[in-house]
């Protein structure tokens, strides 16, 4: 009888390593899946990466730059660089700078390139060249409620709210505010 009892103990000890292996594997898979889900939630609801296409935001942003965009919604303000997903003529998201918000009056003097909001000339050190290209919109214009008026920093190479192809941007279509340039490495701050 002793031999039988010893064999049963040996069989039970042999099963324990399999259970430990399966339990350890389950723990690793569980941790990995939790990490993946957490990262997906963060990059869906908190931050997103967006690439810049085209020259419309030079010298602030360049074609091929990668941006970290905050998806946490807050009211857009003058000077914010935003990603816009509003359907437009080009059928693609665009990156532009907020120049005016709801109920503000925008006027552009195309002979001098000066932009005015509510009668005040904007100080725009980020602009590449004067705003001399006129599109279909007649100025002055008043920004509708829950909309913004956007311009590219490279004003003479930008399709923006001066054109009916883009127009005023509904705040609901602002994907987020650009927080940092993550590629190329170096100057991370976007102003």
In a domain, 35, yes or no: no
pLDDT exceeds 70 at position 127: yes
- Write out the residue range of the structural domain in which residue 177 sits: 47-181
Give pLDDT, residue 58.
92
Q: Per mean pLDDT, which range of 68-77, 101-110, 126-135 is the poorest?
A: 68-77
Q: Where in the sequence numbering do the catalytic residues fall?
A: 56, 96
Contacts of 168 (CB under 8 A, 6+ apart): 143, 144, 147, 148, 149, 161
Give pLDDT, residue 6.
47
In a domain, 171, yes or no: yes
In a domain, 17, yes or no: no
In a domain, 14, yes or no: no
What is the CB-side half-sphere exposure of residue 35 using CA atoms within 13 A?
6
pLDDT exceeds 60 at position 8: no
**Sheet bearing 66-70, strands edge to edge:** 47-51, 66-70, 174-183, 81-84, 94-101, 147-151, 169-170
| Average pLDDT for the chain | 84
How many folded domains does the chain comprise?
1
In a domain, 75, yes or no: yes
| pTM, entire model | 0.76
Name the nearest CA neighbour of 152 among 91, 188, 90, 98.
98
In a domain, 18, yes or no: no
**Residue 107, domain CATH:** 2.10.109.10
In a domain, 121, yes or no: yes
| pLDDT tens sequence across 91-122 | 888 999 999 999 999 999 999 999 999 999 99
Two structure tokens written together for 26: 């389950």
The conformation of residue 72, written as its DSSP 8-state character, comes to S
In a domain, 22, yes or no: no
Two structure tokens written together for 16: 């324990």
């Amino acid at each position: 009888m002793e031999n039988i009892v010893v064999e049963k103990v040996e069989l039970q000890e042999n099963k324990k390593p399999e259970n430990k292996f399966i339990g350890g594997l389950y723990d690793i898979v569980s941790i990995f899946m939790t990490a993946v889900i957490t990262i997906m939630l963060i990059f869906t609801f908190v931050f997103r990466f967006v690439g810049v296409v085209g020259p419309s935001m030079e010298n602030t942003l360049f074609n091929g730059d990668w941006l970290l965009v905050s998806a946490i919604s807050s009211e857009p303000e003058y000077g914010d660089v935003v990603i816009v997903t509003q359907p437009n003529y080009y059928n693609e998201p665009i990156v532009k700078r907020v120049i005016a918000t709801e109920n503000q009056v925008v006027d552009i003097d195309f002979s001098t390139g000066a932009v005015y909001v509510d009668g005040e000339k904007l100080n725009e050190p980020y602009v590449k060249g004067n705003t001399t290209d006129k599109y279909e919109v007649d100025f002055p214009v008043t920004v509708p409620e829950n909309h913004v008026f956007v311009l590219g920093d490279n004003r003479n190479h930008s399709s923006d709210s001066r054109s009916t192809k883009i127009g005023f941007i509904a705040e609901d279509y602002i994907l987020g505010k650009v927080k940092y340039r993550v590629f190329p490495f170096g100057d991370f701050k976007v102003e």
